[in-house]
Amino acid sequence: MGDPFGFMEYERKEPFCASIKERIKNYNEFHTPLSEKEQKLQGERCMNCGVPFCQSGMMIGGMISGCPLNNLIPEWNYLVSVGAWKQAYERLKLTNNFPEFTSRVCPALCEKACTCGANGQPVTVRSNEYSIIEQAYSEGLARPQPPKVRTGKKIAVIGSGPSGLAAADQLNKRGHSVTVYERSDRVGGLLMYGIPNMKLEKHIIKRKIDIMKAEGITFVTNINVGKDISADDILKQYDRVILACGASNPRDIAVKGRDAKGIYFAVDFLKSTTKALLDNTDDYINAKDKNVIVIGGGDTGNDCVGTCVRHGAKSIIQLEMMPKLPETRAENNPWPEYPRIFKTDYGQEEAAEIYGNDPRVYQTTVKEFLADENGNLTGAVLVKVKFEGGKLLQIENSEYTVNADLVLIAAGFLGSESYISQAFDVQTDKRSNISTEKNSHKTSIDKIYTAGDVHIGQSLVVRAIREGRDCAKEVDFDLMGYTNL
C-alpha cells in the first residue's frame, strides 16, 4: 500500500471522455488517459485490504465476483502509486496475457468487488491496468521474447479469439510450436469482428499479434478447419489440438415475418462495419436514415446502438424483455456480489442525446415483422411481456406497431456451430458446447482439448483468457509429464 489514507484523501478520477457530438463523428476510441501523476494518485486509493475480493474471481450469488484471472490487483496498484511501471507490468503479465484488450473491453468485475466501492467509489483498476500496459509498450518492455528452447511438440489451436490466443501464447512460451487457424481473413475472432472499434481499435490487436508472430507463433487465416481442411489432416500433423472456436451460433427470433429483407444478426452487422473500415470500402450493412430496432439489451445490443448512431440512423429502439433494474443494489444483492443495477452504456448515452430519449424499451419483444409487397421490412408489431412461474408470457391487448427498416438481433448465442464438433467427433452438451469432465478441458477424444466459449458458452473476454490459460496448462502437462505454466 502506498498511502494508507489514499482512499479517503483522493477522489476517483477516470480518463477523460470525449463529448458525444465529437466522438460519434468517427469510430475511434474516445477516452484520453490520465496523466502519469494523476494515475499514481488513483493507485494510492487502493486499500490493499485483508480480503481483496477484487482478485478473487469466485462465484457469489450465482455470479462471478472479482477478476476471473485472479490478477494481482493490490500489488500492481501499489506499484502504479510509486511509479514502478516495469515491476507493475511484470506482476500484471503473470496472470494476464492480454491487458491491452481487457483494459479496454472488460466490464471490470474487479471494480464491482472493490472494498472501496462498498460504501463509496471503487479504485480505477481498469484504468490503472491500461496505464501499465501502455507504459510498457512506450518503454519497450512489451517487446517479443521468444522461447530459448523448443520442445519439438506441435500444437494446433482452432480459433483465434481470446481463449485461443491465450492458449497459444502460453504454450509457445513453454517452447512448443503452435499454429493458430482462423477461418476469417484476420486474426482476433470476437476481438476483431465482434467488438467495435470504439471499444477496441484494431491496430491494438495487430500490435499484439505481431509480437506473438515474432515470438514464433504461426497464424493461418482464411482456413475453415472441418471444411477447408479435415480434422484427420489436423490430427496427423499435430501432437495436440485445442478447439477454441467460440459460441458463434446466434439465437434467432422465431416470429411471423422473420424472412423479411432487412433483418440481420448483430454479429454480422458489427462485422460488416468493422471490415468496411479496415478494407476502406462502402460495402456494409448501413443504418443511415433508417428506423432501427435492436433486439437485446446486453453489451452487443449496446454496440449495435452505438454503431447505428455513427451510421446516422433515423431512429433507434432497443428492446429488453426484462424489467428495468433498480438504481442501487437491492437487499438481496449485497456487496461483493456483482451489482444487478441499472447502467447506461456508451451507445445508449449517445442515442439518448442524439434522439432525445433513452432507446431502451423494457419488458417488450417482437410479435410480428411487417413487410411490403417486395418483402422489404417496413415495421414490427411489439408486445409487452412478463415472467410468471418461470415462463415468459405476452400481455394481452398490449400490442403496438412501430416503423422499422432495419432489425438487428442481439439476443445472445445458443452455443457453437455444430460442424466443428462433428468434424472432430467430440461430445457436446445440450447447448451444443463441447463437453468435458468438470474442471477439465480434455474432450471425449484423445489428444483434443477445448477452451473458451465453445466450452463454457457465451461469456466475457476475461473468462475466455482464463479458459485458454487453464487449457494450455493441461495440454502442457499431458505432453511433458509436468508443467510450469
Question: What digits encode the pLDDT tens for the residues 39-86?
Answer: 999 999 998 898 999 999 999 988 999 999 999 999 999 999 999 999
Residue ranges per structural domain of the chain: 6-138, 154-248+414-480, 252-411
pLDDT at 3: 75
Strand order in the sheet with 291-295: 263-265, 406-409, 291-295, 315-320, 360-362
Query: Strands (DSSP E) along 43-182, which ranges?
Result: 58-60, 63-65, 154-158, 177-181
| pLDDT (tens digit per residue) in 379-437 | 999 999 999 988 999 999 999 999 999 999 999 988 888 999 999 999 999 888 999 99
Mean predicted lDDT score pLDDT of the chain: 96
pLDDT at 50: 87
End-to-end C-alpha distance for the chain, whole angstroms = 28
pLDDT-based confidence at 248, cuts 50/70/90? confident
Residue 301's φ and ψ, nearest 5 degrees, are -60, -40
Kind and range of the H or E run holding 41:
helix 36-44
Kind and range of the H or E run holding 90:
helix 85-93
Q: Which residues pair with 388 in a beta bridge?
A: 391
| pLDDT (tens digit per residue) in 460-474 | 999 999 999 999 999
Of the chain, the percentage scoring pLDDT greater than 70 comes to: 100
- Tell me: pLDDT of 1 over 70: no
User: Are domains 154-248+414-480 and 252-411 of this chain identical in fold?
Assistant: yes
- Tell me: pLDDT of 150 over 80: yes
Dihedral sign computed on CA atoms, order 429, 430, 433, 438: negative
Q: What value, to the nearest 5°, has the Cα angle with vertex 394 and ends 388 and 398?
A: 130
| pLDDT (tens digit per residue) in 299-323 | 999 999 999 999 999 999 999 999 9
Q: What are the residues whose beta carbons fall under 8 Å from the beta carbon of 397, sequence distance 6 or more?
A: none
Give dist(CA 253, CA 115) in Å, integer: 41
Q: What value, to the nearest 5°, has the Cα angle with vertex 426 and ends 184 and 156?
A: 45
Given a contact cutoff of 8 angstroms between Cβ atoms, the answer to whether 93 and 102 are in contact is: no
Give dist(CA 367, CA 109) in Å, integer: 35
- Give CATH for domain 252-411: 3.50.50.60
Give dist(CA 318, CA 344) in Å, integer: 12
Distance of CA 137 to the CA centre of its chain: 22
- Tell me: pLDDT of 217 over 90: yes
Q: Which CATH superfamily is domain 154-248+414-480 in?
A: FAD/NAD(P)-binding domain (3.50.50.60)
Taking 3-state DSSP, the helix, strand and coil percentages for the chain, each rounded to the nearest 5, stand at: 35, 20, 45
Q: Which CATH superfamily is domain 6-138 in?
A: Alpha-helical ferredoxin (1.10.1060.10)
* CA-to-CA dists, residue 344 to 298, 304, 305, 324, 351, angstroms: 11, 14, 12, 11, 11
Residue 397's φ and ψ, nearest 5 degrees, are 60, 25
Given a contact cutoff of 8 angstroms between Cβ atoms, the answer to whether 130 and 104 are in contact is: yes
Query: Strands (DSSP E) along 305-462, which ranges?
Result: 315-320, 360-362, 364-371, 377-388, 391-394, 400-403, 406-409, 413-415, 448-450
* Pick from 6-15, 262-271, 281-290, 377-386: least confident: 6-15
Given a contact cutoff of 8 angstroms between Cβ atoms, the answer to whether 336 and 113 are in contact is: yes
Give dist(CA 276, CA 449) in Å, integer: 34
| pLDDT (tens digit per residue) in 358-385 | 999 999 999 999 999 999 999 999 999 9
pLDDT at 4: 81
